[in-house]
Amino acid sequence: MIRRNVCHDNPGAGIQINADPQMGGDGITSQALIENNTLFHNGSAGGAAVNLASVRDSIIRNNLIYDNRAGGIAGWGDGNGPAWGCISNVFFNNTVVFREGEGRWCISLKEGSIHNIIMNNILSGGHGGALEFSRDSVTGLVCDYNCLYGLSDGFVATYEDEDYFTFEAWRGLGFGAASITARPSVLFTEWTEGCLDLKPGSPAIDAGTDAHPSIPGTDLNGNPRYDDPSMPNSSGGNGFTDMGCLEFRSGDPVPTPTPVPEPVVEIVLDMGGDMFEAGDTCYIDLICRNPVEEKTLDLYVILEYSGGYWFYPSWRELSEGIDFTETVIPVEVDYRLHIVPAFTVPAFGGAGPFGVYAAGFGPGTLDLSTMVTNLAHTGFSFI
């Protein structure tokens, strides 16, 4: 595993795996993982930024490869013949970009490097183009959902300096029905300054695919896939995987669904007056207004006076617990739910203020967070 390295200004390759069969052993490297590396300014004396020989069943993904002098990612047999090609590897979500007039090809597979899968990459050549193959390396090739570009001459692919293909010609060979082509200035924020973040509206946004188990669910920086609401979901699988190694996320807050308003039950209390004397007969009318939808509540009413709390129904004191009345409140205006039975105002000995409170809770709960009505209150005094 070669992960999260920064490799730059090497005259040769930045990362190299050569199994060197002439040195004994089977000469094959299998199941390597090369991911989340950043490579730039390598290859002034030749050698791809990621240089692989006889590597098989391996994953090369989420690598940021820019401003290198020779190739981007190269797989071959190191001159030992097609029996030592790079076989059955996957190249996913790499961003390989060259400056205009510089470098070779973004991904080169040669010398019997067959059965490889190349998807979700942004490959923009500076002197060469995006993809280079030897004719014996396209067997079993799967190549789609890539953004391909060649800055110098408009060719995105070649069969090793024999045939050159424009984007449309390359797609015509069956490599890339879902691929796109776009200049780096259209894709990136400040590509000439080395900032290869996708910019708003970049066609690489939501245009890759996650329809392969080795496609990374997070990008080079560990950020998860993001569905940009301003871009169509044209990718395969989940529909919003980006091409390249840096998933775009807008600076705007993540949109949240418009909340569905909680049905409102308004409770109105009416004591028929606000001045009472011990021995008076007192009434409390409890009227519900419920304009939204029928709702089931546990309803309670508290009478507070003389420093104590009394709960309806049955006007018990707090120490005896609270009786709840489960009630279905229909959709009606001024629905008179309960007319609390008349009671006699008792003798009092404390100071005011005094009052009646009423509220409703979700059935079976007594938790303020589940209070589903406003807390109604009406005050009164003793004469």
206 binds Ca ion (CB under 5 A): yes
Q: Which stretch binds Ca ion (CB under 5 A): 224-232, 314-322, 329-337, 344-352?
A: 224-232
Q: Which stretch binds Ca ion (CB under 5 A): 140-148, 166-174, 184-192, 226-234?
A: 226-234
For residue 47, the minimal CB distance to Ca ion (Å) is 33
Chosen residue from 90, 231, 271, 372 binding Ca ion by CB under 5 A: 231
Chosen residue from 20, 160, 227, 280 binding Ca ion by CB under 5 A: 227
Decide whether 144 or 242 has the Cβ nearer to Ca ion: 242
Q: How, if at all, do strands 15-18 and 308-312 pair?
A: unpaired
228 binds Ca ion (CB under 5 A): yes
Decide whether 144 or 206 has the Cβ nearer to Ca ion: 206
Decide whether 57 or 227 has the Cβ nearer to Ca ion: 227
242 binds Ca ion (CB under 5 A): yes
Per rule CB under 5 A, count of chain residues that contact Ca ion: 8
For residue 179, the minimal CB distance to Ca ion (Å) is 17
197 binds Ca ion (CB under 5 A): no
State the number of CA atoms in the 13 A half-sphere of 162 facing the CB: 6
233 binds Ca ion (CB under 5 A): yes
145 binds Ca ion (CB under 5 A): no
For residue 218, the minimal CB distance to Ca ion (Å) is 12
219 binds Ca ion (CB under 5 A): no
78 binds Ca ion (CB under 5 A): no
240 binds Ca ion (CB under 5 A): yes
Q: Which stretch binds Ca ion (CB under 5 A): 69-77, 136-144, 228-236, 272-280?
A: 228-236
Decide whether 224 or 261 has the Cβ nearer to Ca ion: 224
8 A C-beta contact, residue 179 and residue 173: no
For residue 249, the minimal CB distance to Ca ion (Å) is 8
Residues in the site for Ca ion, rule: CB under 5 A?
A: 206, 226-228, 231, 233, 240, 242
